Amino acid sequence: MPKTTNASSTDQPMRSKKFLILFILLPIFLAACTTADNLNVPGVSLTVDPAGEPKEVATGVQLLVLLTVLTIAPSILLMMTSFTRIIIVLSMVRSAIGAPTIPPNQVIIGLSLILTFFIMTPVFTQINDTALQPYLNQEIDQKTALEKAFLPIREFMFKQVREKDLELFLQISKNPKPQTLEDIPNSVLLPAFMISELRTAFTMAFVIYIPFLIIDMVISSILLSMGMMMLPPSLISMPFKILLFVMVDGWYLLIKSLTVSFY
């Protein structure tokens, strides 16, 4: 036992010396790396580039901003396009029929995205002609391109937003009363557009709900009069609601109503 203790006590100073030597050599190695342009080791190549020019740094910052914008693109799609109204109406129709999982969520979201791109095509085309292509051809700078790109989107939102909703957010933000539409800031237009879309979507969904609600009431009354109180009315009414939806060509009427509501 004493021999073991002496061996461990002698190993400790050796380890301390190794750590001390490593601590001294590490800064020397890092300094050599920074002074050398290329450091080649068998199988490993380390290159330390010099500081870039201001143009290169600005391009890197622009790329970082672009990647950040792409990460919030879904939120922008929800806030400033027709996606919100479409997906709410389609989801409410699915619930009104009595099949909350048919069509699946992937189909509902996919159909909403396709209709959104179809409805917003004139806006995207105008953005491409007035902002994107001139910017790529270096005819305008980035700030001007962003301003011109937002003009068609603002015009689209102004067509759908209610004046009452705009007044609400103008009062909350305590902004002065605008003289023209150009004086309304985006911070007021965006939330006003969102609640206007929610109101329109729920109004359309309520109108669609009425015929399916009547079918549920009729089936429930028939089952109650026949004494079949243990039989769920939704089990009997769902085939009749699907039959009604198919006979009136419901998908055609629904998509037509959603598309026309934006024009």
**Other Cβ atoms within 10 Å of 156 Cβ, number:** 20
Q: In the prediction, which pLDDT does 261 show?
A: 86
Q: In the prediction, which pLDDT does 60 show?
A: 63
Give the tokens for residue 246. 């198919």
Report the alpha-carbon distance of residue 204 to residue 257 in Å, rounded.
Answer: 9
Block residue for tokens 């479409």? 86
Q: In the prediction, which pLDDT does 65 show?
A: 67
Task: Look up residue 128 and give its amino acid.
Answer: N
Q: In the prediction, which pLDDT does 187 show?
A: 83
pLDDT in tens, 53-98: 555 456 666 667 667 766 777 777 677 888 889 998 988 888 888 7
Give 255's contacts (C-beta < 8 A, 6+ positions apart).
Answer: 115
Check if the beta carbon of residue 233 is closer than 8 Å to that of residue 216. yes
Q: What is the DSSP string of 5-39?
A: HHHHHHHHHHHHHHHHHHHHHHHHHHHHHHH-SEE
Report the alpha-carbon distance of residue 92 to residue 202 in Å, rounded.
Answer: 8
Give the tokens for residue 194. 């969102």
Q: Which of 215, 218, 201 is nearest to 248 (CA)?
A: 215
Q: In the prediction, which pLDDT does 8 show?
A: 47
Cα angle, residue 210 at apex, residues 205 and 216 outer, rounded to 5°: 120
Q: In the prediction, which pLDDT does 226 show?
A: 76
Q: Distances in Å between the alpha carbon of 189 and those of 42, 97, 117?
A: 61, 35, 21
Q: What is the DSSP string of 103-119?
A: S-HHHHHHHHHHHHHHH
Report the alpha-carbon distance of residue 193 to residue 83 in Å, rounded.
Answer: 12
Q: In the prediction, which pLDDT does 48 show?
A: 46
pTM of the model: 0.66
Q: In the prediction, which pLDDT does 21 show?
A: 56
Regions of the chain short of the pLDDT cut 50: 1-9, 29-30, 32-39, 41, 44, 46, 48, 51, 56
Give 31's contacts (C-beta < 8 A, 6+ positions apart).
Answer: none
Q: What Rg do the C-alpha atoms of the chain give, in angstroms? A: 33
Orientation angle between helical segments 142-160 and 73-80, nearest 10 degrees: 40
Instruction: Respond yes or no on whether the N-terminal peptide bond of residue 103 is cis (omega within 30° of 0).
Output: yes
